[in-house]
Amino acid sequence: MEELNQEQWAIDAKGLVKVFGKNRAVDGVDLKVKKGTIYGVLGPNGAGKTTTIRMLTTLLKPDGGSAEVLGYNIIDDANQVRQRISLTGQFASLDEDLSGMENMVMIGRLFGFSRREAKKRGEELLTAFDLFDAAKRQVKNYSGGMRRRLDIAASIIVSPDLLFLDEPTTGLDPRSRNQVWDIIRLLVKAGTTVLLTTQYLDEADELADRIAVIDHGKVIAEGTSGELKASIGSGKLHVRVYDPEVRAHAAQVLEQTIQTKVLLGTDPLVLTAQVSDTKLVSKALLAFEDANINISDFSLGQPSLDEVFLTLTGKPADDQTKEEAAG
Amino acid sequence: MSNITQAEAIEKALSNRVRPKKASALSACLTFSGRMLLRIKYVPEQLFDITMFPIIHLLMFTYLFGGAIAGSTATYLQFVLPGILVMTVVMITMYTGIELNNDIKKGIFDRFRTLPIWNPSVLVGALMVDLVRYLIASTIMLVLGYILGFRAEAGFGGILLGLAILLLFAFSVSWIWTTLSMIMRSEKSLMAASMMILFPVTFVSNVFVAPETMPRWLEAFVGVNPVSFLVRAVRGFMEGTPDYQAVLWVSIISLGLIIIFAPLTMYLYKRK
């Protein structure tokens, strides 16, 4: 990666710091995002994701560090940066009182299109995003998914070189979420670099070429989703026995097979374990049969964000919303 | 629409990588003005202040004080209308700040701030629509005044000159409220602060009574109150005896307000 020359980075941030009062919301974040890729910033509420995005999009001045976005310094060349990026904020960056089309025309005009061109572009994008029928309705009457799509449509009126999506699927139903994912994939195919933040590991896993895990304003892990998973184990094994009497025996058998510590759940029938090698899991199933232990449930889950945090930080990903509110 | 054609439509829309020339400052201002006009279209109630205030103020003050102060309401109306006009429009400017204070909390401002546009256009565009609002309020009051018997001795030309200086001042004062709206965290505190400034400067002036009737210390304050200069200027134009000294002072004060508060507003806006 390091040998890439400067022009290949869409974002090159070094040691970004932002302090709100006593709270170091962003505490020395380094990010390198390659052009033409999707980069995921993963972390719980209040980890500093939004603040980082606000600095990279020139909305906030960093208190320390520096960043180049598409080769332009975010402080000295803020206007150059603004001409090339687009932001879809966590809360819809739309005028809720206006209709979908009025939003598109207004933003198109501000980008420098004539009224006629802005209208044409608005129609084109609303149609593509399946919003044409709702074009004349006020945005406040849109569903969450429609709002998100309109927000993204507004962000690409002039196709940006780099698009920031701040939690693009938080609060969406699964169908809308898939639609947004499809749109993001198409954007990248068309040559736009995307930086997205998310609280969901599966979203980062599904979309991002590389992921930075961020907590308390610091990047605590970075890599492809494969690399990250390898570092935290493949997931959590969940076993449920029929009879609480045999749980202790089952735990012993399981511990021997998968060679990791087995935890006893509060439910007297449940056993859990963090698994690093999935091959051993299938052996465990056989081992139970050999030991004559009947089980009612045997499942291997993807590591959750909580587990990622537990592994990376040694503590659960507690909700840090309060700190954010204070900032 | 099937998924395949939608994907194609998106790809087609994205393949259009036209990058128009940067919007001019004027065009950006006009777009923001258009946004405010659209908001009036959806929420016409926001015209309540500019329609009801002029009517209530004029009727209330003319008939409440007229007999006591000037002996007859007809005489008083002739004296007081330019003053109430000034008071009403200056008070309505306060809503500029309240609207902005509400508006700026919305997500759309994040987008505005990341667009490559002339930054002040967001506010200048909104203030341009406010000028129209002030003009509507003035027209309503003048029409009602004429129905009640007010006559501007200088005729239509005098009225236009009076309105011009009034709108200049109103536009300048609006920048105080935009500055405050960036500082104040809630609409309520902003309203309280605005009222605290507006009540004394509009009432303790020459709007209702001639300053010669006041104690000397009060007369001194009224004499330097910018609203008094504005009332003198507007009265002068309407009565056909232009008070150029007052016009000059109002112009200087207006420019001063813009020079101080417009950059201050923008500074706070960028940091918000």
Per-residue pLDDT in tens (0 to 9) along chain B, 272 residues: 445 577 788 778 777 777 788 889 999 999 999 999 999 898 888 888 889 989 999 999 998 888 888 888 888 999 999 999 999 999 999 988 888 888 888 888 888 988 889 989 999 999 999 999 999 999 999 999 999 999 988 889 999 999 999 999 999 999 999 999 999 888 899 999 999 999 999 988 888 888 888 889 999 999 899 999 999 999 999 999 999 999 999 999 999 999 999 999 999 988 77
User: Which residue does chain A place closest to B22, by CA atoms?
Assistant: A112
Of B11, B16, B38, nearest to A98 by CB-CB distance is B38
CA B114 from chain center: how many Å?
28
Indicate if A234-302 has the same CATH topology as A6-230. no
> What Rg do the C-alpha atoms of chain A give, in angstroms?
23
Q: For A37-63, write each residue's pLDDT tens digit.
A: 999 998 888 889 999 999 999 988 999
Q: What is the ipTM of this complex?
A: 0.84
Q: A32 in helix, strand or coil? A: strand
User: Which residue does chain B place closest to A80, by CA atoms?
Assistant: B116
Range of the domain at B171: 24-271
Pick the CATH number of A234-302 from 2.40.240.10, 3.40.50.720, 3.30.450.40, 3.30.70.100: 3.30.70.100
Q: Under 8 Å CB-to-CB from B1, ≥6 apart: which residues?
A: A130, B9
Q: For tokens 């690399």, what's the residue?
A: A227
Contacts of B113 in chain A (CB under 8 A): 58-59
Task: Of B175, B190, B208, give the one whose Cα is nearest residue B88.
Answer: B208
Q: Is residue B11 part of a domain?
A: no
Q: Is residue B114 part of a domain?
A: yes
Q: Is residue B202 part of a domain?
A: yes
Q: Is residue B19 part of a domain?
A: no
Q: Is residue B259 part of a domain?
A: yes
Residue A122: pLDDT band by 50, 70, 90 thresholds? very high
Q: Does B117 touch chain A (CB under 8 A)?
A: yes
Distance CA B231, CA B206 (A): 7
Inter-chain contact A58–B114, Cβ cutoff 8 Å?
yes
Q: Does A176 touch chain B (CB under 8 A)?
A: no
Q: Where are the domains of chain A?
A: 6-230, 234-302
Q: Does A116 touch chain B (CB under 8 A)?
A: no
Q: For B202-253, write each residue's pLDDT tens digit.
A: 988 888 888 888 889 999 999 899 999 999 999 999 999 999 999 999 999 9
DSSP secondary structure letter of residue B44: G
Q: Is residue B7 part of a domain?
A: no
Q: Which two tokens stand for residue B11?
A: 């790809």
Q: Å from A11 to nearest chain B CA?
A: 16
Task: Of A35, A43, A36, give the one whose Cα is nearest residue A11.
Answer: A35
pLDDT at B131 (0 to 100) = 94
Distances from the Cα of A118 to the Cαs of A41, B14, B224, in angstroms? 33, 15, 51
Inter-chain contact A91–B107, Cβ cutoff 8 Å?
yes
Q: Å from B85 to nearest chain A CA?
A: 32
Average pLDDT in chain B: 90
Distance CA A104, CA A47 (A): 32
Distance CA A320, CA A327 (A): 11
Inter-chain contact B35–A95, Cβ cutoff 8 Å?
yes
Q: Is residue B163 part of a domain?
A: yes
Contacts of A96 in chain B (CB under 8 A): 106
CB B191 within 8 A of CB B98: yes
Contacts of A91 in chain B (CB under 8 A): 107
Q: Does A82 touch chain B (CB under 8 A)?
A: yes
Looking only at the bridges linking them, the beta strands covering A9-20 and A23-34 are: antiparallel
Q: Is residue B132 part of a domain?
A: yes
Chain B, window 8-27: residues with a beta carbon less than 8 angstroms from a chain A beta carbon: 9-23, 27
CB A95 within 8 A of CB A139: yes
Residue in B3, B6, B10, B38 to test binding to A, most A beta-carbons within 10 Å: B10
May I ask the CATH class of domain A6-230? alpha beta
Q: For A283-324, write each residue's pLDDT tens digit.
A: 888 888 888 888 888 888 766 656 666 777 665 555 444 444
Residue in B12, B14, B40 to test binding to A, most A beta-carbons within 10 Å: B14
Residue A5: pLDDT band by 50, 70, 90 thresholds? low
Please count the other Cβ atoms lying within 10 Å of the Cβ belonging to residue A28. Answer: 14
CB A104 within 8 A of CB A51: no
> Average pLDDT, stretch A221-248?
81
